Structure 1
Amino acid sequence: MRKPPAISGSGMKHVILRALAAIAALAVPASASAQEIFGGVYAHAVDTPFTLDTTESGTLDIAAGIRFGRIDALDFIGSPAPYVVGNLNTDGYTSFVGGGLAWTIGDGPVYVRPGIGMVVHDAPEFRVNPETGYRTDLGSRVLFEPEIGVGYRLTDRASVEAHWMHISQGQIFDGEQNPGIDMIGARMNWRL
């Protein structure tokens, strides 16, 4: 019996991202309609108080996603809007796909958009910093993804945001470690 051809690390990353994107798209209820699309560029692995060193350098990420209509049944927590997001690192470091809920606060030209989600990533399951001997893997394949953006509405349909995303497991899935990765950048939103 012949073995299937080996897939390179880069090829595997693309296979995983495509499969996860397809699963995320199928998970969105058919009755939900997309309200907004967004995309942006981010500095990857920015050093902030929320992260520990993962040995990933500050490279470039490209993110894109879809935001759906607000969930009126959740009006007791502000009727958040569900979103699906994918983030691809251009240098082969950690990429992820997932979804969550976001709130838009402010009706004027300036607004704030906090959100919380869950993502699945493709970083190594086990990684150690050779200089320190400390583990630098993310501790779990599934991570939390808090985010916040401060935006400006350019038109009725277009807006721009300064945006921060963070991924980590919050020591819930592995109590001995909690490296995380912060991405900071700019995002463009287009209302459909």
Structure 2
Amino acid sequence: MMKIISAAIAISLGMSVSEPAHADEIYGGIAAHQLLTIVAMENAEDGVDVQAGYRGDPIEALSAIGKPSPYVLASLNLSGDTSFAAIGLSWKFGDKIYVRPGIGIAIHDGPKLRFAPDGSQTQLGSRVLFEPELSVGVRLSETVDLEATWVHLSHAGIFSRVQNPGLDMFGARLVFELP
């Protein structure tokens, strides 16, 4: 997992160098790992995740789809369960109070094979997963926001035919706008 986190940091540093004026935001927070929802099934994981990420400035060249911001996210599970790194695009709607949906691709270190007591497979089915996320945020000051977040990992049956229970994480992030 350290290789994945190192790669995410390297990508974020590369993104910050390619930005013309400055990096837009860095963020960090904690999340409850694997809460059961209508899109994630039981898979024997739990614990707390520590998350950190970077969001770049909106991409003007993608104005046809609403000028999304690129992001890099690393999530480390403190119980030794699945950790991951993701890259993607997110859109911000609103200012003082806002909604920020995003979609990315993640690489994780979860087990390749895992079984529930009933014999059904509960691994994630693919090393590469989709990473949709949704944040609701509030601006606390000129440079600091607080976000409530939901992050989901799943291959949606596209990357593998193996059962895909998915993972859901709910948490909070502090977001810092960089000068």
Q: Would you call these one fold, judging by a TM-score over 0.5?
A: yes
- Which one is further off, 18-27 or 117-126? 18-27
CA contact (8 A) 1:24 1:98 kept: no
Q: 1:60 to 1:51 in 2, by over 3 A?
A: same
In 2, Cα distance between equivalents of 1:47 and 1:170: 17
User: What are the ranges of 5 or more consecutive residues in structure 1 without an aligned counterpart?
Assistant: 1-12
Q: Which one-letter code corresponds to 1:185 in the other structure?
A: G
| Match of residue 40 from structure 1 | 29
**Contact 1:165-1:183 within 8 A present in 2 as well:** yes
Within-5 A mapping of 1:173-184: 173-184=159-170
Contact 2:12 2:54 (C-alpha < 8 Å) held by counterparts: no
Matching residue's letter, 2:26: I
Output one character per residue of 1:116-141: Cα deviation in whole Å (capped at 9) or x when no partner.
00110000111112x11011110110
Which residue matches 1:115?
102
2:49 maps to 61
38, 55, 63: which one pairs with 1:49?
38
User: For residues 22 and 106 of structure 1, what CA distance do their matches in structure 2 show?
Assistant: 28
Larger Rg: 1
- Count residues with an aligned counterpart: 176
Match of 1:135 in 2: 121
What is the identity, as a one-letter code, of the residue corresponding to 2:89?
L
- Separation in 1, partners of 2:15, 2:83: 21
Runs of 4 or more off by more than 4 Å in structure 1? none
Q: Cα RMSD over matched residues?
A: 1.6
Q: How far apart in 2 are the matches of 1:22 and 1:149?
A: 22
The 1:26–1:38 alpha-carbon spacing in structure 2 relative to 1, beyond 3 Å, is closer
Contact 1:69 1:82 in 2 (8 A): yes
CA contact (8 A) 1:34 1:68 kept: yes
Q: Do the aligned partners of 1:96 and 1:122 also contact (CA within 8 Å) in 2?
A: yes
Q: Show CA shifts across 1:11-43 (max 9, x none).
A: xx33x3344335534663742242100011000
Identical-residue share of aligned pairs (%): 45
- Decide whether aligned partners of structure 1 residues 27 and 50 sit closer, same or farther in structure 2, where only a CA change above 3 A counts: farther
TM-score normalised according to structure 2 size: 0.92
Shift of 1:55: 1.3
Aligned to 1:3: none
